[in-house]
Amino acid sequence: MRVARVLQELVEQREKPERIVVDNGPEFAGRALDAWAYDTGVHLHFITPGRPTENAYIESFNGKLRIECLDEHCFRDMAEARATIESWRRDYNEWRPHSSLGHLAPAQFAAAWRPPKASQPDSLQLC
């Protein structure tokens, strides 16, 4: 239900994609996300199980998160884990330049991005 709620917030802030690429994790294969997708007219495209290369952007992100954040810290409790991961996430999205985005941080890229007039974004990839 949380994934569906966050996606709805994103659709309200930006635009509705035609499809979302997801893996087969329980957070994406549940009824709540399926109902949200049906209600909003978004197609869910599930990658083939055991084929992470079909979702290469997310696999790359997951690797960076593990190497740069999770493997670097030993968390004493959930509050510390949440704070550390949130700090890393904000740096990754708000300050760190990404070569795939013309060396802009994702927040800078999103602020400058304008969709083509006659179309919607094709897809959104989620881990």
Q: Partners of 20 in the beta sheet?
A: 44, 124
Split at pLDDT 50, 70, 90, the class of 121 is low
Alpha-carbon span 11 to 101, nearest angstrom: 21
Check: pTM over 0.85? Answer yes or no: no
Q: Mention every residue, 6+ apart, whose C-beta is less than 8 A from residue 16.
A: 40, 41, 42, 120
CA angle (74 as vertex; 1, 52 as ends), nearest 5: 50
Contact at 8 Å (CB) between 116 and 18? no
Domain spanning 2-125: which superfamily?
A: Ribonuclease H-like superfamily/Ribonuclease H (3.30.420.10)
Residue-wise pLDDT tens digits, 43-98: 999 888 888 788 888 888 889 999 999 999 999 999 999 999 999 999 999 999 99
3-state secondary structure of 77: coil
Spans of all domains in the chain: 2-125
